[in-house]
Amino acid sequence: MLCYPHGCMSGVALDGKRIKEEIEQELRPRIAALRERKRAPSIAVVLVGDDPASQIYVRSKIKTCAELGITSIDVTPDSKISTEELLDIVDSFNRDSAIDGILVQSPLPNQIDERTILLAIAPDKDVDGFHPFNVGNLVANRPAPRACTPAGIIEMLKRYRISIAGKHAVIVGRSNIVGKPMALMLLHENATVTICHSRTRDLAAECRRADILVAATGKAGLITANHIQPGTVVVDVGMNRITNETLAMRLVGYDEKRVAAFRKNRQILVGDVDPQAMQQISSYYTPVPGGVGPLTIAMLMSNTVLLAEQHLQ
């Protein structure tokens, strides 16, 4: 909390749901135009096995498709499927001209060679932007489908008119899905970028140098008050379902409603950042849930529509 003689301020929550709705409203006329030309945008979603978290994510992706008039096909092969069998599924969607986008939900079971699967998705159907061809386009700052979560974060910062150029952005986490593409997108917006990871010396000191801090580690509550400088914009990408009571109380103990929710369900969804510290010290922050999560889906819809428009051309 920043305190001045006339009172105290805390961070403004960035409303991912509102921005998602805004993006969806902008997509509706484009989807209608495609449908008028008998070319409804369509996505094939492949969910291997029965990971509960992945099931929830895929369900909400498919629900959003239905709300917007994007056709979705979902296939749910058994967790024991081989790489070759999964390649056959991907290939059938590659050859199907009615399909604009292919999404293979990760994580995949251990026996699957994930890189081989990613390489097999036709780059012009790569709604996730994970294919090396599209990653190359991102590096070169050329138009191509972009990884949805970092693209959504950039969209959110822009729509809230949070300036990026010249700012020092610190990203914690170096995954191919978030950390690395996030660094490139912020760089293309003219931020000065630092990427931190598990081998970074004095993580807290690096984080305190951030004007914009993006936490994408998958470690609940890793980022604490000690990592946040007053006024920092804090983007929490973490989606961690925790069951450990001590950790849950450390992170949400200040919030009666969330304590009650934990006592009832014996689990709770938290980010990578201590929520109270984030609210009190930041200038703007993304809450978990309701911050970054909805934007990932919005950008998936946006990528699908873009690919459909390109396929029509």
Contact 65, 72 (CB under 8 A): yes
Q: Could you tell me the smallest distance in angstroms from the CB atom of residue 5 to ligand GUN?
A: 45
Cα dihedral 23, 279, 233, 134, rounded to 10, equals: -50
Closest CB 239 distance from ligand GUN, rounded Å: 8
The distance of closest approach from Cβ of residue 87 to ligand GUN in the complex, given in angstroms and rounded to an integer, is: 16
Of residues 61, 125, 167, 180, which has the active-site annotation?
61
Stretch that binds ligand GUN, among 79-87, 103-111, 215-223, 255-263 (CB under 6 A): 103-111
Q: State yes or no: is 128 an active-site residue.
A: yes
Q: Is 61 annotated in the active site? A: yes
> Which residues contact residue 257 at a Cβ distance below 8 angstroms, ignoring those fewer than 6 apart?
none
> Considering the rule CB under 6 A, would residue 105 count as an interface residue with ligand GUN?
yes
Q: Does 172 bind ligand GUN (CB under 6 A)?
A: no
CB 287 within 8 A of CB 295: no
Q: Which token pair is 39?
A: 């070319």
CA distance 54 to 67: 20
- Known catalytic residue: 105? yes
148 vs 210, beta carbon nearer ligand GUN: 148
Q: Is 7 left (phi over 0), alpha (psi -120 to 50) or beta?
A: left
Q: Of 128, 236, 272, 274, which one is the catalytic site residue?
A: 128
Burial class (CB in 10 A: 0-12, 13-18, 19+), 87: middle
The one among 103, 135, 184, 248 contacting ligand GUN by CB under 6 A: 103
296 in contact with ligand GUN (CB under 6 A): yes
Minimum distance from CB of 111 to ligand GUN (Å)? 18
> Which positions are annotated as active-site residues?
61, 105, 128
